[in-house]
Structure 1
Amino acid sequence: MKKNIAVVMGGYSSEVDISLKSGNVVYNYLDKEKYKVYRVHILLNKWVVVDENNNEYPINKHDFSVQINNNSITFDCVFNAIHGAPGENGMLLAYFELLGINHTSAPFYQMALTFNKRDTLSVVRQYKIPTAIAVYLNKGDNIDVKAIISKVGLPCFVKPNNAGSSFGISKVASEDNMMAAIEKAYQEDNEILIESFLDGTEVSVGVIQYKGETKVLPITEIVSENDFFDYEAKYEGKSQEITPARISDEATKRVQKMAKKVYEILGMSGFSRSEYILVNGEPHFLEMNTVPGLTQESILPQQAAEAGISLTALFGNAIEVALKKDTIV
């Protein structure tokens, strides 16, 4: 009997449209001979199953079931394709775990931890993982621009603490531009971080659970046409994403070893894609994405393809791994 699979997509953040694209790719590539797959839009104003004709059926939030043509449908597993809140920050996953529904992401606490950039950095630093120098601010804090620059230097990056897809990020090259960058970041989040500029090669590496083991995928080199790997570079073709990365064998091994170590330090499972800057051959960890883009053009699927893993195999494996997990209830 086919398992009922809910592909959740959308979300409550600026990444909603990107998530809908990712979710539809997952929906299209999951093996329909093996699974009965449903598209579930989780949006601020509605939770609905959307069929092939764009008919909508409301989700019962008490048990995450749906009534379609007088049939009550429950789900054996949820494929999480929500970038940002509430899928990537752990909120929705805590709900599924309370209901005893298996899902493809890490447990809710690990998702919440990795979504918070400064908490993630605090953890990995304890394990001697190199990172940028950083200053943290909460909305309402006094801002001493000169003191910030004295610590992190120029240029530097100003980022929302809890946001993805490079929304709200600025590269600041002069003191005069610092306050505007801080205000831009505060539009996305009440917590921000300001990090030193790392001068080196940017790479991105996926780590997943695949066929019973933790697998590090081929590394991608990021070459942005813009000042950094911003939204335009990520989604509007303003970058080259070169897989495998044009780095030495030694640097490749260092990144792979560190990426696997960080994945394990943070207690991850399911998908992850982490960003590093190679400074004189030494990887410096930037951040981890636990619901990375999943379209054909996205980095992690590119890496999977380089490793000989099709989208159908990649997504189906995630379902099979999730189905084997023990649920809380």
Structure 2
Amino acid sequence: MLHLLRQGASRLETIAVAPDWAPPADALWIDLESPSREEELAVEQALGLDLPTREEMAQIEPSSRLYQEGGATFLTASLLARSDGEHPAATPVTFVLTGELLVTIRYDHLKAFEAFAQSALQNGKPTCGGEALMGLLEAVVERLASVLERGSARVQASSNAIFDRPRGAAFEPLLTGLSRTQSITAMAQISLISLGRLASFAMLADEIGGAPARKAHLHSIQHDVQSLTEHSGHLGTHISFLLDAALGLINIEQNNIMKVFSLATVILMPPTLVGAIYGMNFVHMPELSWKLGYPMALGLMVVSGLGPALWFKRRGWF
């Protein structure tokens, strides 16, 4: 699918391309969302560029993600996608800046791109590919900030639930929620680190480094990325602490349960021993023919059970 943003347009166009397709002169941004091979070839032929394939975008070495070729600057970052869904993921996205045109290649739906398109149509900006790149990066950073803010709120709620929970309440929902938040936070941090590298390399592009306003804008984005990266690191540390605390409380509750069974076993052992002794049917057992033998045996069982119980009580074990 190919989306096209033109200067001064009132909507984002979704177009079909032919092999001899050429972008209009007022095109600012070409967005290839899950493109077919035919669409990739048509755009490559129109721009005279060799666009990276999905497999090439997935490579993690910097030389395959950040480079200049054919007069264009290629920037690939791993961005968080589907953060509100059941299966969030870090998906590679390539930004190609060539002259006054920006080309993006992605294979997942990104809300940041949608938000940027709406903002660009409402405000009448950008006016060139360099400004489109700045606007997209800013939208991505804002989206990641929102994800981390929601994650912080969930972590605080989980913290309150863990330490204020009533005895015996289930831990499973808390652990599941924390694990999911940890996963999203880790992927957001990966995205931020990737964006930091992208922003540093983007400064080499003439469309960015040669324009003081865009250069200052990119410095501002870098500062935001750095701040969010530190925040995500602190958030991840907090989540790890809460997971350890929850597991520690689970162990304490399990130990308390086992302590009850252990104390019950120890308390019942002496009465059981007495009952076992007087349950033996030997002929020469004086108490068997004694009139008070049965009450004596019962009393001995009670006393032998109360003794350990009172001793445990005095030690504060229950």
Shorter-chain-normalised TM-score: which range?
Answer: under 0.3
Higher relative contact order (CA 8 A, sep 6+): 1
Give the structure with the larger strand fraction: 1
- Relative to the length of structure 1, the TM-score reads 0.24
Higher helix share: 2
TM value normalised by structure 2:
0.25
Please tell me whether Structure 1 or Structure 2 has the larger radius of gyration of its CA atoms: 2
